[in-house]
Amino acid sequence: MNRWLLEAGTSEDAVEQVVRFKDKVWNWVTDADMWANVLFSGLRILLIIILTRVIIKVVYQIIDRSMERETRGRMLANSRRFSTVGGLLKNVVTFICNFVMIMLILSEFNFNLAPVLAGAGVLGLAIGFGAQSLVKDVITGFFIIFEDQFAVGDVIQTGTYKGTVEMIGLRTTRLLSSTGEVHIIPNGTIINVTNYSLANALAVVDVPVKIERGLETTLALIGEALQGIEERNENILAYPNILGIQSMNTSEYVIRVAANCQPNARDAAQRQIQSDIKQALEKQTALEEAEAERKAREHEVQAEEAAGAVPRRQVAAAQEGEKGEN
């Protein structure tokens, strides 16, 4: 009997619980204020997403126009450089806008944003301390690209490394040396940079000349040898300047020649100047040797003729003496 009463009481409690749950569901479904809040929250979330996308698109267009204007305004602009800067700025804008959007959406769901922001700050601080070198490389790479310090194809020197820039990235820069080695340099280690490709170079050649050679003759010979050199070698921009005697000792004196040439073409210009002067000196030396040999031959002939004239005079004198006796 007691067991039956307990079972009957339990059934009634279950029915009451079902009825109360049904009432709660019905009240929740028919709660106009709650649905109004959900509707307005949904509209606000949708508006936040739409505004975020519009802002990102507008900022993208501003960045593209700015990069295009910078590209047109620079004679030596590198499209890869500005596309890299534009891509980086777009990524930063996208990250910031999406982060703000997510925070606003969470606030619509009544999340407490203080712990989230504090956790994000701690996480960012931990990442910053753990990747200091990476952050330094990226920041330095951004400023290298943004400030137009050097471009792909430029010849630069940083520290002990010198070569042609093959690639500029946000983290590393790749150099190809003149002997074929490829140097990959983290941007954070690039402190001082010497760019050999921004302005015209000056090729300087010192020509040693024997002290016996006349100065005026040597200067005239070098000037004649360098005539038209700017046409023979496109790296040389104008006729070189023959500056005169640079140094002198008891055995030789040095004539200095300087010429304006294309950026990073100093070695080629110096080789052309040296080659032209060397050929002229060789030609002049050959002419002088030929002239000396000709004079020596004439001297020998004259000496032989003079030596042969003495016996002939003696014979003639003897014949005249014999005629006189007869």
**261 touches 227 (CB < 8 A):** no
CA distance 267 to 252: 25
pLDDT of residue 139: 83
pLDDT recorded at residue 75: 45
Residue 86, pLDDT score: 74
Q: What is the mean pLDDT of each run of 10 residues along the chain (326 residues)?
A: 49 63 65 68 85 90 79 54 71 84 81 72 68 79 81 86 85 87 90 85 89 88 89 88 89 91 86 91 86 82 68 58 57
Give yes or no for a contact between 228 and 238, defined as CB atoms under 8 angstroms apart.
no
In this prediction, residue 29 carries a pLDDT of 61
Are the CB atoms for 229 and 273 separated by under 8 Å?
yes
191: three-class secondary structure by DSSP: coil
Q: For residue 52, what are the contacts with CB-CB under 8 A and spacing of at least 6?
A: 97, 98, 100, 101
Beta 182-186 vs 172-176: how paired, if at all?
A: antiparallel
The DSSP annotation for 107-163 comes to HHTT--HHHHHHHHHHHHHHHHHHTHHHHHHHHHHHHHHHTT---TT-EEEETTEEE
Distances (CA, A) of 203 to 96, 206, 235, 260, 264: 52, 10, 10, 6, 10
C-alpha separations of 242 from 30, 122, 207, 266, 274 in Å = 101, 68, 10, 17, 13
Give which of 60, 59, 82, 57 is closest to 69, Cα–Cα: 82
Sequence-separated (6 or more) residues with CB below 8 Å from residue 21:
none
326: its two tokens: 């007869």
pLDDT of residue 130: 64
Q: Are 117 and 111 in contact (CB under 8 A)?
A: no
pTM above 0.85, yes or no: no
Angle at 55 between CA 54 and CA 56, to 5 degrees: 90
Buried b (16+ CB within 10 A) or exposed e, 79-105: eebbebbbebbeeebeeebeeebeebb
| Structure confidence at residue 141 (pLDDT) | 83
DSSP code, position 236: B
